[in-house]
Structure 1
Amino acid sequence: MTEPNPHPTEPELIRVADGVAIAATLVGDGPVVLLNGGLGMPAAVWPFTGIPDALTAAGFSVITYSARGLKPSSAPPAPYTVPQMADDAIAVLDHFGVHEAIVAGYSMGCYVTQALVSQWHGRVLGVAMMAGLRSSAIGEIVNEMELGLIDRLGDLPEAVTVFEQLMTTLTPDQLVDDDAVRTWRKLLTSGDTSWAGADGLRGQLSASQSWMLAKEPTPERLAAITAPTLVLSYEHDVFFPPAGGRAAAEHLPDVEFHELDGQAHGGVMLDPQRRAMSMLTAFCTRVRGGAAAD
């Protein structure tokens, strides 16, 4: 495996296909955990979850990357597919010489995680899916709305994306707190876009929509995930409601399911208790212990 850099300054640009480069970073020392981010989530967001630092402190190497469509990776022409995005992640693993790993995803990154397990020839030591095992009708409707607006207007108005992020990311208590809503609106409208080009948003939305319309994940796909699996759902997540996640988790052969109260879809980042960070780190440590005993 490529020697990890404990203090990287810039991600590596890895050519994964013709005209497509993925920006990725490997840090830490030990068994590898690959983190697949959600729709529109560049690698720079992961540190806000506390997960990379917790994992490296626990003796793991961590790979984060910005999926196709996001800066500083490439934004090839849309549409994209989830299996295609999984192939990008596999190319990143290959670049770093990784032959076995724990694979974790958040939100749409769970779709990529599921497809990667089906497509990768390496050894999957464990699988973790946070706020993203199975989507809802609301998720399909939001994707359909956003793709329709892009087709009609050529882009997605900022007011639409801000409203959607506020309504799905914040908790019910935060949504009725005017000061909290105004603060988050200001945060969401400051800074540059994370998209690498006009095709980035359209491409990732189309990948998400095609996955959901195909009724993925199918019971067969889930039953084929034989590695130990951690599933985390949040009480107020309208995109990935706990009931749907619990029902889907029943098809996983070796699963640990947790419903975390008090949080919505943004719980991985906003939960003051950092439960996802703690539970993922504990899960990876258990999986590593089991692998060492094999």
Structure 2
Amino acid sequence: MLKSPLVPGKSGMAPLSGLDIYYAQYGQGPHLVLVPGLGVSTWIWDDHLPHFAPFFTVTTFDLRGAGRSDKPEGPYTVSQMAGDLLELLDFLNIPQCHLLGISLGGFVAQEFAIDHPERVNRLVLAATGPGGEAHSPMMPEVMDLLLAKSAAQSPGELLRRKLLLAFTENYMDSPAGEGQIRKRIRDPQPRAAFEAQAAAGSVFDRCRDLGNISAPTLILSGALDPLVPPDNGRYLQEHIPDSRFSLIEGLRHQFFVEDAQRFCNEVMAFLQGE
């Protein structure tokens, strides 16, 4: 697994309407903004920054409720999170950007691209779906495990079981998989904030507006993803006008971490117009 040796060129707290959002910027070039998923913070991009920062000004940030950003009492909505993103871009004087969202961050990226098309150059949606009636749901037992609280098992054992929804067993048995557990133990998300983020994602519904996304769009799904099954990615490709779909064989929800090299190669080729 790659380790990011990069130090942010700029980082801090952006004072938005009613809360502060943590951000960090790396590199130089056209703007690329990375939107994280449920329950993670800026460390999710550690393996990607060495690929992107030589070519782009990369902005990472923590969604409301995660990492170093404020964690107001819920409920949260995806619309709120997209509003936070708009205010953050204005604060950082970013008039237009490439936008990449993973999982819940893909919902935020869709909402933003639909409502603010003039701000998005190219759009990347990974491990995400359309929401609403068009969304292919996870199985009930998968949801139960995702929301389970530690009881008979130790927190580390339960965390490993949850991470097997996102990563293959081979990966979780490797030093890289152990690193994923350590990162989450070091940066625990308050239960209430996790549930507020999850609830926001559960009611997201812009499937009828996908035709209004004007940015060229790359959609990627893990073939074995039990959290956001790949039919969701196919639906996005069928309903976003200028889009293409890439199925990542053999991998689960966080294919973009487990095979960061392939993911970054596909994203770089797309953003550079290939």
Q: TM-score over 0.5 for the alignment? A: yes
Aligned twin of 1:83 = 79
Q: Secondary structure at the residue paired with 1:247?
A: helix
For 2:138 and 2:251, how far apart are their aligned partners in 1? 17
Aligned twin of 2:138 = 138
Aligned twin of 1:73 = 69
For 2:57 and 2:212, how far apart are their aligned partners in 1? 26
Distance 1:247 1:80, change over 3 A: same
For 1:275 and 1:71, how far apart are their aligned partners in 2? 27
1:190 to 2:186 alignment: no
CA contact (8 A) 1:76 1:199 kept: no
Task: Spell out the pairing of 1:25-40 with structure 2 (5 A cutoff).
Answer: 25-40=24-39
Q: Shift in Å at residue 53 of structure 1?
A: 2.4
For 2:25 and 2:52, how far apart are their aligned partners in 1? 12
Q: Of 197, 200, 209, which aligns to 1:207? A: 200
Aligned twin of 2:103 = 107
For 1:258 and 1:81, how far apart are their aligned partners in 2? 28
CA contact (8 A) 1:37 1:66 kept: yes
TM-score (norm: length of structure 1): 0.78
Name whichever of 186-195 and 234-243 sits farther off: 186-195
Kindly provide the amino acid, as one letter, of the partner of residue 62 in structure 1.
V
Residue deviations 1:84-110, cap 9 Å, x none? 111111111111101111111111110
Name whichever of 90-99 and 135-144 sits farther off: 135-144
Q: Of 156, 166, 170, which aligns to 1:169? A: 166
Distance 1:182 1:27, change over 3 A: closer
Kindly provide the amino acid, as one letter, of the partner of residue 12 in structure 1.
G
Q: Secondary structure at the residue paired with 2:213?
A: coil
Residue deviations 1:182-231, cap 9 Å, x none? 867754543545345443212211111222xxxx341x321010110001
Give the alignment's Cα RMSD to 1 decimal. Answer: 2.9
State the percentage of identical aligned residues.
Answer: 26
1:277 to 2:274 alignment: no
CA contact (8 A) 1:73 1:196 kept: no
Flag the structure with higher helix content: 1
For 1:124 and 1:256, how far apart are their aligned partners in 2? 17
Distance 1:67 1:271, change over 3 A: same
Q: Secondary structure at the residue paired with 1:103?
A: strand
- Higher alpha-carbon Rg: 1
CA contact (8 A) 2:210 2:239 kept: yes
Q: Secondary structure at the residue paired with 2:239?
A: coil
Distance 1:189 1:170, change over 3 A: closer
Distance 1:262 1:238, change over 3 A: same
Kindly provide the amino acid, as one letter, of the partner of residue 57 in structure 1.
P
Q: Shift in Å at residue 25 of structure 1?
A: 1.3
Aligned twin of 1:290 = none
Task: Spell out the pairing of 1:36-47 with structure 2 (5 A cutoff).
Answer: 36-47=35-46
Residue deviations 1:51-70, cap 9 Å, x none? x3222223x11110011111
Aligned twin of 1:56 = 53
TM-score (norm: length of structure 2): 0.83
